[in-house]
Amino acid sequence: MTSDATAVLHQIDTFVRATFNVAADDPDFTSDVHLFDYGYLDSFGAQQLITHLEATYAIKISDNDLVKYPLNTLTEISKFIVDRQRGAR
């Protein structure tokens, strides 16, 4: 089953905010903020997010994917998920 990019974006936004304690009024936290540069996720947070995405969206994300595709922002991650579900990546 494939998902809608906007819905996925909203779901990941909710997961990251809740799991990594992002303040509701944090002005830097947008769909296009670099999650790693801005420190919302560290190496263990990234692992946690990947595990969540794989389980929730029934996809596999390999180490190569992390190098090959930009997966740094909520927008990039949600687009990747939808494309992967459609077999486009």
The site for other proteins, by CB under 8 A, has a size of 18
Contacts 24+ apart (CB under 8 A), 44-50: 45/19, 45/20, 48/19, 49/15, 49/16, 49/19, 49/77
Q: Which is nearer to other proteins, 55 or 64 (CB)?
A: 64
Q: What is the DSSP letter of 24?
A: T
Structure tokens at 65: 């994917």
Binding segment for other proteins among 1-9, 13-21, 58-66, 77-85 (CB under 8 A)? Answer: 58-66
Here's the x/- map for other proteins, 28-47, by CB under 8 A: it reads as x-----x-xxxx--xxx-xx
Q: Which is nearer to other proteins, 5 or 46 (CB)?
A: 46
